Every structure is written in C-alpha cells, then in structure tokens.
Amino acid sequence: MLLQGSEMVSAAEERLGPMRLTQEPIQVLLVFAKEDSQSDAFWWACERAGFRCNIARTPESAVECFLDKHHEIIIIDGRHSRYFEADAVCRMIRATKPSEQAVILAVMPQTPSDQEEPSVLPLLSAGFSRRYLENSSVSVCYNELIQLEHGEVRAQFKLRACNSLFTALEQCQEAVEISSEDHVIQYVNPAFEKMMGYHRAELIGKELTELPKSEKNSADLLDTINTCIKKGKEWQGIVFSRRKSGDSIQQYVRITPVIGQGGKIRHFVSIKRPYSDNHKQVHKLSKEEKSCGEHSQSECNSLRHKDRRKESVDVRSISSHSSDAPSLQNRRYSSMARIHSMTIEAPITKVINIINAAQESSPVTVAEALDRVLEILRTTELYSPQLASKEDDPHTNDLVGGLMSDGLRRLSGNEYVLSKSALHNMSQSQLAVPVPLNDIPSSIAELLNEEERWEFNILELEAATHKRPLSYLGLKIFSAFGMCEFLNCTEATLRSWLQVIEANYHASNSYHNSTHAADVLHATAYFLRKDRVKGSLDQLDEVAALLAATVHDVDHPGRTNSFLCNAGSELAILYNDTAVLESHHAALAFQLTVRDSKCNIFKNMERTQFRTLRQAIIDMVLATEMTRHFEHVNKFVNSINKPMSAIEETSSNSEGSDCEGPASIRNSPENRLLIKRMLIKCADVANPCRPLELCIEWAGRISEEYFAQTDEEKRQGLPVVMPVFDRNTCSIPKSQISFIDYFIMDMFDAWDAFASLPGLMEHLAENYKYWKNLDEMKCKSLRPPPLP
C-alpha cells in the first residue's frame, strides 16, 4: 500500500460521515509518580472536558492500566527523573499493540529564559506525540486536551476506521481499485485481482496508462471519463477492460473522485463489476417464458412479483401464489427478459432498460436511488427546471405559469372568441395597393437602408408606414435573400402575400401586432447573416426561417394560451388546449396563402420541395411556444454548443477556428433543425437585447397587453393567470428582471456562443442593469421618476 497515514485520513474525511468514529467518552491516562498541582490540573481539565481519567504511579501499573482500558490520550510526567524515566515509560507503552493509535504527551519543565530551548527530537524518537510545557492552570490543560481531541485523537480514530474499511474492501465481492490524483494505482482488492487476473504486486505503483487497453472502447471514451472526473464529478458507465490473459471483459464501472485537504482531488476510487452478469441472469430466466404456455392464462397472469424495495405486493399474487416466492422472483426476471427483447425501442426505453438491469444487482440504497431516477425519466417535463415556492419570486412564477402552461383546463360559460374570422371577414378591397420595392417612398426607403444593423429602429418604421412595417420590411429583406427566385413567384405575388399576412395581425394589440412580427423578421434576417449560421443552413432553411418569422403570430388575439384554455375558446377546443395559438398561426398562414392565387407564393413550387418547406415553417412557428422552451435550449446546448466546444478545444492549435468537425456537427439534419428552432426563439424574444430605448418601449407594450388580460380575466370571472400583472400594483422592472433571469440569459448565452453576438450581449447587460437600478430605487414604472 502506498497510502500514507495522513493521506488515508484525508481520503476518509468525506466518506466516514455515517460511521461512528469516537468512543465516548475519551479516556485519558495520567502517569505521575506523585500527586501535585500539575496532575490535579489535568484531572480537573478531564472533568471539564467530560473525559474519563485514570492515574498510574509506576511504569508497570501504567502499562497494565493501558492494556485494560486502551486510553486515547496518555500524559507522562517527564519533569522528575528520580522516580522514573519518561522515555522508558513511553517505550514500554509503545511496545504494546493497542498503542499504535494512542496519543502520548510528555510534560516537561519550563526552560529558563537564559537557556537554549531543548530539541523535541529525543521525545519523538522515544514515541511521544508531542510536548507539553509545565503549566498548572486548569484552563491551559483543558485547552491542550481539546486541541488533542480535535487534532491527533480524531485523526487516529479516522485511521482506525480506515483499517476497518480496508478490511471490508478486502472481503468485498466487487472489484475495487484506488489510484492517486496522478492515476498511479495504490490499492486493489482480491476481487479485482480475481476479475483481472493480476497479482496485487504487479499493479501497485503502476500508472493506469501502463496497463493494456481494450480496443473495443470508443476512441474518445477515456478522454470523456478523464474530463468528467477531473472536475470532481462521479462517472459511471460501461467500459471494456483487458485482462492479463489478453481477453476483453465488459464492466460496469463507477469512478468517484475523493476530495482531500484544500479541496483538491487526492484519489480516485473505481468500483467495477462484470456488466454481463446482469444480462446472463435475465437471459437464463427468459427461457422460462416457454413454461408459461404450460399453465393456464389466468395462472400466468397471477404470477406477479413482490418488489423487494417498495414492499408492495400484487393482490392477485397473494391470493393465488402467496407461498411461491421463487416463482414470483423468476416471473419478475422473465418479464424483464421480455422487455429487454423488445425490437421496437425508443432511446429513452433503452436507457430505462439499462437502469432496470443495473438495479438487479445493486445495493438497496442504490436501487432506491435508481427508482427515483426512473420516476424522473418517465415524466414529460424532463427539461423544465423546478421553481422554488411562489413566495420566493411571484414574478417568475407568474411568468412561468402564464407562458409555459395551457391554463387550468377549466371550461366556463364565458367563451373568448376572436374578434373577427380571419378567413371570411377580410377582402382584398380592405388592403392598400401593394407598392413595388422601387416605388417605396424615400422617407421609408431611407429607414430601410439601416435594415442590416441590429440597432435598426423598427418603431420609426412603424410610424413612417402608418403601422404597416411588415410589408415594407418584408419586401426589402425578402429581396435581399432571393425569395422570389427560390419560390419561383413574382414580386407582385410576394407583395400581395405580405399585405394579406399583415392585415391579419391585430393593430389593436399593444404588443402582438405586425410591428412585433416585423421586429422578429428583422432579428431573423440579422441572425441568418451571421457567418456560422449562414454556414450551417441552406437556402430552403433561410426561406423557411424568414416566412416563419413573418407569420409566427398572425391573428394573435393579444391573450395567452392559458387565457384561451381557461375561457374555453373555440381555438382551445379546436387544438385540444395544446399549443393553441402557435397551431393557429401556422394553420392560418397556409390557409390565407393558398385561398387566393394572387397571393399564393407556393403555387409554382415542386410538390416535394413545398412539403419540406411547409414542415420547416410549421416546426419553427411551433418552436415559439414556451412550454418546450427549456427542451429546445437544452437540446441545442447538449447537441451543438458542447460538442463544438470540445472539438474546437482539441483543434485550437490548428489554423483557423472553423474546422470540419464543427461543420459536420452543425450541418446534420437533426442539428440544423435545432439551430432553426433556436434562431426563431431568440428572434421572438430579442427585446431585452435591443438598444435600451427600444427595450423600454417593448417592455411597456407587453406589460400593457398582460394588464389588459388580467383586467378581462377579472371581468369574466376567469382564473387570473398572472396576478402580478395588475396594472395597479405591478413592478415592470421586477417582471423584466425575472423574464431575463429565467428565460433570456441562458438562451442567449448559448446562442451567442454559437453565432457570436457580442453587441447583443452588451445591450442585454446594459438593459438588465437598468431594470436592476429601477428595482433598487423601488420604482415600478418603465422609467425613473423625474428629479425634483
């Protein structure tokens, strides 16, 4: 063993919590030839500390008493050599086996100030742990005892516990390997020797890298494991290892870093067991499936298992086979075998099967923990974080409740119906005559010249176009991206389509109107022009993104999905209370497009290409629904951000930052889908990343829309979805802070890491600071109060 005593203590520090380390109370042996003030002081100090104390007057009686009581602390008087030699007494005690874990203190006389301080080396050589200079103060003696208890004594208790733990490791049936922070093997138990075919002496002191590796592991597996454990995180999974004989063995491995003094990793503990053991048992018992046919169907159905962890028994098994425990357990394995043999498996099913198999040979505590893991995996809200209590942050809770749920699913007599039927009450005569791009008024054209800048002021365009910014901005952006050429349609058709779509946005909405659609279209075009985004998507993706941005909120009623569900609206009933508005936006957009040849931008497309484009548009519009917000963001981070970051780190020494690895990640169909979803999600809620004045205006508009919803909920007697958005009490700064904290910050961090958007992140930081300052001033409005 290469572990030193201090290292063993450090290694056990975090692992011995549940184990009793001390024998209460601590026992102290005083070895004093005569009673004096010093011995009395230690006696009373023991009384104060709650320690048991014995006194021995001779070396012989001291050894006898120690062998009887096994004291943790021994204090030997070394002031008067005429009675006995303290060194000799210490050596006599140290000659006994129990003294290995005893702390022995030498009481020495004070050194006169004119003499040189003697060395402590002779005392340490004799076996003493430390020296105590004569002082008959009870408080000083008490402090010395307390320091010994919390220092040397506690360390000895831990070493004693370590000895017990290593004894347990020697008997453990699972293979255990302990290596240093530098991956030098320091310990393996007999089970490891048996499994791997090595003798302990062949492994101790060797680096793990010196041992032969199995070629069956994936190339990056070891790097993945090292990256994880070096961060102090536990890693567990399936690994192939090479035995001494040269054959490979598949193992289930759990590697746990052990944190020592200073918070540094001191050791790694690896626990290994043959992975195939879990499946051999299942495979063996699966043969019993055939025997089921020999019994009646009812008899087979009654064979249910008793869960050894939850102690719950199927009633039918009690009534028919209450005494047939082996059969019940076999049926459980047989059922597991059927599950493992299923040919139609989703990825999550495979994960659950692996966990179920691992439970079979796991300790009860591990099996119970895996039960909780399975409960989580079987929920549908895998990506949604759990909030604290509502009292902690009502603004965040209300935002989440209003944006990420579909209401209380309670139908009432009060039904909210859209103010107009978009398909039947709109005629072309209501629309302004489309203006060709070349004939746009100069004042509007001048504004549109700034369209490629993030700081483009959409509100100025709103005013200049008399609240019809979408048609004008759409013409400019669509022309820049070659929309007519791709769709094989005329500019007149495209203009007509833009006019139809814009006419179906509600100008009466303070937020969800055509200006918001134009703002999202502008952000979408801005993102599409970024090098990494542009290099990841093809032209169909770009066209789909621009069209999805244009229609993503068409015919929005200015109310949330939760409101429509609670009100029992026609749309909520039509779409089964699921993604109500987003489904309506996508469906209506295509209905409006194909109903009239004059505005049907898809009429000349090839059928297959149209189907692909249509699916991409629908997917992006549905991605703006907030109930799956965290799913989309987490998938983007795990499938794109992290893999690209890992590849770029390994290729940082090569020329150029954009290598083939990241490009292949970005350009896969699955990841292009994630990029498009993330793109439109960020474009849809980019207001906090706009210049401050635009950010403030948009915050006021969305707040007014939420205020109006709360007013209507109260009037109709509906559940109030977002109570904090009461126009009489709401703090707009608090609502913006909560929205940024909960929805915006992480999403834009991920999008910035991909698309490189430093300007947006600067605006976001500035705007967040602005809202924070207002909140600290106890200001509830959009702007600080005017100075007196």
> Residue 236 is encoded by which pair of tokens?
């567990």
Residue with tokens 């300007």: 759
Beta-strand relationship, 185-188 and 103-108: unpaired
> Residue 18 is encoded by which pair of tokens?
């549940």
CA distance 582 to 575: 10
CA distance 636 to 646: 15
Q: Where are the alpha helices (DSSP H) in 138-218?
A: 138-148, 154-171, 190-196, 200-203
> Residue 350 is encoded by which pair of tokens?
């495979």
Question: Are the beta carbons of 713 and 721 closer than 8 angstroms?
Answer: yes
Beta-strand relationship, 73-77 and 27-31: parallel
Provide the annotated binding site for AMP: 512-516, 553, 684, 736
Please work out, in degrees rounded to the nearest 5, the angle formed at the alpha carbon of residue 599 by the alpha carbons of 594 and 601: 75
CA distance 691 to 679: 19
Reduce the DSSP state of residue 185 to 3 states and report it: strand
How close are the terminal C-alpha atoms of the chain, in Å?
Answer: 78
Q: State the DSSP string of 396-452.
A: HHHHHHHHSS-TT----S-----SS-TTTS--GGGSPPP--GGGS-HHHHHHHTTTT
CA distance 410 to 291: 51
Verify whether residue 305 is a known catalytic residue. Answer: no
Please work out, in degrees rounded to the nearest 5, the angle formed at the alpha carbon of residue 65 by the alpha carbons of 62 and 68: 150
CA-nearest of 500, 546, 493, 503 to 521 is 546
Q: Please give the radius of gyration of the chain, using alpha carbons only, rounded to the nearest integer.
A: 38
CA distance 666 to 669: 8
Quick count: other Cβ atoms within 10 Å of Cβ 691?
15
CA distance 406 to 408: 7
Q: Which strand (E) or helix (H) includes residue 103?
A: strand 103-108
Question: Are the beta carbons of 783 and 696 closer than 8 angstroms?
Answer: yes
Cα 652 vs. chain centroid, distance in angstroms? 27
Which entry of 512, 556, 584, 629 is annotated as an active-site residue? 512
Nearby residues of 752 by Cβ (< 8 Å), 6 or more positions away: 758, 760, 761
Q: State the DSSP string of 285-323.
A: HHGGGGGGGGS-HHHHHH--PPPTTT----HHHHHHHTT
CA distance 269 to 253: 10
Provide the annotated binding site: 512-516, 552-553, 684, 736
Positive or negative: CA dihedral 358, 364, 366, 368 = positive
Question: Are the beta carbons of 530 and 757 closer than 8 angstroms?
Answer: yes
Positive or negative: CA dihedral 240, 243, 249, 251 = negative
**265-274: strand order across its sheet:** 185-188, 175-180, 265-274, 248-259, 235-242
**130-133: strand order across its sheet:** 52-56, 27-31, 73-77, 103-108, 130-133
Provide the annotated binding site for Zn(2+): 516, 552-553, 684
Question: Are the beta carbons of 159 and 8 closer than 8 angstroms?
Answer: yes
Residues marked as catalytic:
512
